[in-house]
Amino acid sequence: MSCKVRIPAPLQRFTDGADLLQSDAANLPALLGELTARFPELKDRLCEPDGRPRRFFNVYINDEDIRFLGGNNYQFAPGDEVLILPSIAGGKS
Amino acid sequence: MSFELGLFCRDCGKQFPSQPLAGCDECFAPLEVAYDLKAVGRSLSRDALQSRPRTIWRYRELLPVPSSPAPHERPVGGTPLVAAPRLAAALGVRELYIKNDAVSFPTLSFKDRVVAMALSKAREFGFRTVACSSTGNLANALAAGAAAEGFEAYVFTPADLEEAKIAGTVIYGARLIKFSGNYDQVNRLCSELAQKYPWGIVNVNLRPYYAEGSKTVGYEIAEQLGWRLPGAVVCPMAGGSLIGKIAKAFDELQQLGWVAAESPVRICGAQATGCSPISTAVKQGQSEITPQRPATIARSLAIGNPADGFYAARTIIQSGGWAEDASDPEIVAAMRLLAQTEGIFAETAGGVTLASAQKLIAQNRIDRGRPLVLVITGNGLKTLDAVQQPEVTIPVLAPSLRQLEAYLATPLPPRSIGAEAQLVTA
């Protein structure tokens, strides 16, 4: 049940430069738990204290906003491409 | 002397020097322009504004622009605040005003204001090419501004853009590209573009500066009311930025001591029912936004994932205001009501604003005894397809006086407002 997780440029410094990861997580909460355990620096930036993604990120599954697919209830399918994108993006600092 | 201090993060407070950046690199929240408001207060009095032209530049100390007038500054803003007694009577309120950006110079929507800010900053940052993603009004405004101020311009829109807005963009020489997707998808593409190209993308990497232009709507309303704040203001919401900036403007004027601190202004939002992520959240009493897929004739408000939705909802709730939304027939009926009571032809967003205001008044969310301002953001000529009525026949007579008199003698139908030509009840 492996999905691909694309990490956009602004977040790569928190994933040791990785831009593409694999995961067997079943859904978004599981994926976020896995990512933040593996990359602790992502935790406060990506998630609220209760584990929900912060509102400044959109999560896309195969280019579709996950909130239109059921959000946390969406079960990842094999080969799904997950993209976590800052919603206020733009510019290089 | 400029009073701009740089950028700060709305969430974690991190500060940044002035630059083309829209999001915090630490926490990814949006950035906002910071000013030394105390210094503004020491340096500038309300009276000092009297001799300045009635344009957005009148308030330059409160905007991210140079401190002295420059030749490229166009006479944007200073639109009429129209007293609307006939509409007030129809709505059952004592005092009503229309802030009429339907006549904004040069492209007949409030976007002229935010574009002027973005171009000022683009010039300062050395950009030669500017761009935007747009549901239409921003496209027009950027194309015109870029032509007048010497920038190359790219404009990206959804494929179903109205003909008037297409013509109103390409006439200025901008390069318009349509995408077979909705606005949210086009906007996301612009975010990716901003990472790669050295362009000033006004609603992406210039967003904090661009957005500040909307404060001028608030400053003008206050000054035009005689340095008073209204009891309530109803503002349409697309991305959710304008409404927050009007509230910010009122707040700054109170901090400067330029307006009396009366009862708080109820900041009220208006959306189309077919794209109502923000009004839905407000009506649930909370500010977390669930995106929607837009389906409304109010295409200028068809943003299903509003970037400032959370802040708009929070501003509304904290001010004691509320939000409502209007169906397509209600929107058209309200466009007609505004035109036929006050002679103002607003675009669909204006119909959204008035129809929503009618509901808010009926629900007693707006105090009928205090001044009410409706923010009209664009001109009806831009959304003609919304009000074209194929079933209405215009008479064609032979040019004879007898024919005409015979026609006039027949009972004429009442001026049509539409099937919903009655006060909307809650």
- Per-residue pLDDT tens over the stretch A16-39: 999 999 999 999 999 999 999 999
Tokens of B373: 């301002």
> Within an 8 Å CB–CB cutoff, is residue A50 touching chain B?
no
In this predicted structure, what is the pLDDT of residue B388? 81
Please indicate whether, in this complex, the C-beta atoms of A90 and B288 are within 8 angstroms of each other.
no
pLDDT at B181: 86
Whether B405 maps to a domain, the answer reads no
Structural domains in chain B (count): 2
Put simply, whether A72 touches B (Cβ < 8 Å) is no
> B273 is written with which tokens?
């029912």
CATH at residue A48: 3.10.20.30
**For residue A58, which residues of chain B lie inside 8 Å, CB to CB?**
188, 305
Question: Range of A27's domain?
Answer: 3-86
pLDDT at B412: 76
Q: Does B164 score more than 90 pLDDT?
A: no
The 10s digit of each residue's pLDDT in B364-401 is 999 999 999 999 999 999 888 898 876 667 889 999 99
Residue A48 domain flag: yes
Tell me which residue has tokens 């501003």. B315
Contact criterion met (CB < 8 Å) for A85 and B191: yes
Whether A67 is in a domain gets the answer yes
- Residue B420 in this model has a pLDDT that exceeds 60: no
Residues B351 and B220 both lie in one domain: yes
Query: pLDDT tens-digit profile of B73-82?
Result: 999 999 999 9
**B211, B245, B279 - which closes a domain:** B211
β-bridge partners, A53: A47
Q: Tell me, yes or no, whether B269 and B315 share the same domain.
A: yes
Residue B227 has pLDDT above 90, yes or no: yes
Residue B394 in domain: no
Out of B211, B233, B264, pick the residue that ends a domain.
Answer: B211
Express each pLDDT in B327-353 by its tens digit. Answer: 999 999 999 999 999 999 999 999 999
How far away is chain B from the Cα of A9, in angstroms, using its nearest Cα?
A: 9
Residue that terminates a domain, selected from B155, B180, B211: B211
Look up the domain containing B281 and give its range.
Answer: 81-108+214-386
Whether B42 is in a domain gets the answer yes
What is the pLDDT at residue B418? 46
Whether A91 is in a domain gets the answer: no
Output the pLDDT for position B183. 83
Beta-carbon separation of B29 and A88 below 8 A: yes
Report if residue B177 sits inside a domain.
yes
Q: Name the band, by pLDDT with cuts 50, 70 and 90, for residue B188.
A: confident
User: Mean of the pLDDT values across residues B36-49?
Assistant: 95
Q: Is residue B326 part of a domain?
A: yes
What backbone torsions phi and psi does residue A11 show, to the nearest 5 degrees?
-100, -10
Q: pLDDT value at position A1?
A: 58
Position B373 in a domain: yes
Evaluate whether residue A92 is within a structural domain: no
> What is the average pLDDT value for chain B, to the nearest integer?
93
Clarify whether residues B367 and B229 are in a common domain: yes
Q: Is residue B419 part of a domain?
A: no
B362/B380 same-domain check: yes
Answer whether residue B166 is part of any domain: yes
Confidence grade of residue B160 (pLDDT, cut at 50, 70, 90): confident
Q: Is B180 near chain A, with CB under 8 Å? A: no
* pLDDT over 90 at A50, yes or no: no
CB contact under 8 A, A65 and B21: no
> Average pLDDT in the B130-150 region?
95
Best to test chain A binding among B11, B12, B16, B28 (most A CBs inside 10 Å) = B28
pTM: 0.94
Tell me, yes or no, whether B252 and B311 share the same domain.
Answer: yes
**What ipTM was estimated for this complex?**
0.88
pLDDT category at B425 given cuts 50, 70, 90 is very low
Unique residue bearing structure tokens 């032979």 = B398
Measured distance CA(B181)–CA(B53) in Å, rounded = 42
Q: Is the pLDDT of residue B170 over 60?
A: yes
Residue in chain A lying closest to B197 (CA): A91
Q: What is the CATH number of the domain that holds B66?
A: 3.40.50.1100
Longest dimension (CA), chain B: 78
Count of the separate structural domains present in chain A: 1
Q: Are residues B344 and B207 in the same domain?
A: no
Q: Are residues B115 and B205 in the same domain?
A: yes
Q: Which of residues A54 and B324 earns the better pLDDT score?
A: B324
B147 and B89 within one domain: no
- Is residue A7 situated within a structural domain? yes
**SS3 (DSSP) at B74:** coil
B27 interfacial to chain A (CB closer than 8 Å): yes
**Residue B40 neighbours by CB under 8 Å, 6+ apart:** B3, B61, B62, B256
A and B: number of Cβ contacts within 8 A: 77
